[in-house]
Amino acid sequence: MVPTPGGIIMSTKAAERLLYFLQVSNSSFPTGAFNHSYGFETWIDSERIDDAPSFEIACRDWLRYGVAGVDGAAVAHAHRAMRAGDIDALVALDELVGALKLSREAREASDKTGHALLSAMRDIFAPEQLKQFEKAIKSGRCAGHQAVIFGAAAGEFGLPEKDTVLAFLHAAVSNLAGVASRIIPLGQVETQRIILGAWPLLQEATRLARNTALDGMGTSMTSLDIASMQHERLHTRLCMS
């Protein structure tokens, strides 16, 4: 049992779950997510987003209508597939995630951060079952997207599905807010207030993601898909996507 500052006793297992999520969803965990704006840099360059309020509105729409229905749902389904030991289901899910990312840069960002996450997970936590999925990736059966690997790893470790999805979505918002803080720019306090304000929506997005069936996965953020396609042609770029 581990004592907490408030005198509450947390079981060692619960403490380890919390510590795992704090570590893997931290911006310092080596996935490279801090280099990607997922099309937001195009909006910032065009001044569609130019301050904290405009970024917050766009970020919340992105979470609700973009991330939750694709990557968030993929985390949940990957978690279930790994718990069932179904590597073929993980491969099929990974292919679906790639197909739902309409812009080349979005697919590449998901692929690159996925490979970085997989490498870090292998070297730090040494998951055994994930090695089978890694073999499928290396053989060319699938790409290896970040959301699928994140959910599969947590599933192997027996971590709660709900907490896994919530941690992934929170990390996505935090990383994007970090990008915005550099290129709008935003103050550190403003940035943290935006993340705090997203807490209720993060919980709702987690519920939506977990309730999204495979054949219901998708995004309605077409305008951001277009912005992502335009990003590679920007005159100057600070982000990779």
pLDDT in tens, the chain (241 residues): 333 444 444 467 889 999 999 999 998 999 988 888 888 989 888 889 999 999 999 999 999 999 999 999 999 999 999 999 999 999 999 999 999 998 898 999 999 999 999 999 999 999 999 999 999 999 999 999 999 999 999 999 999 999 999 999 999 999 999 999 999 999 999 999 999 999 999 999 999 999 999 999 998 888 888 888 888 887 777 777 7
Q: Is residue 237 in a domain?
A: no
The pLDDT assigned to 10 comes to: 42
Closest CA to 172 of 197, 152, 146, 139: 146
**Residue 26 falls inside a structural domain:** no
Q: Determine the Cα–Cα distance for residues 165 and 214; give it in Å rounded to an integer.
A: 15
In a domain, 77, yes or no: yes
In a domain, 30, yes or no: no
pLDDT at 221: 82
Look at residue 1 and tell me if it is in a domain: no
Pairing of strands 2-3, 9-10: antiparallel
Residue 12 belongs to a domain: no
pLDDT for 235: 73
Q: What is the pLDDT of residue 6?
A: 45
216: domain CATH number is 1.10.4190.10
Extract the tokens encoding 179: 């990008």
CB environment 183-216: b (16+ within 10 A), e (fewer): bbebeeebbeebbeebeebbeebbebbbebeeee
Give the domain extent around 221. 37-231
Question: Domains in the chain: how many in total?
Answer: 1
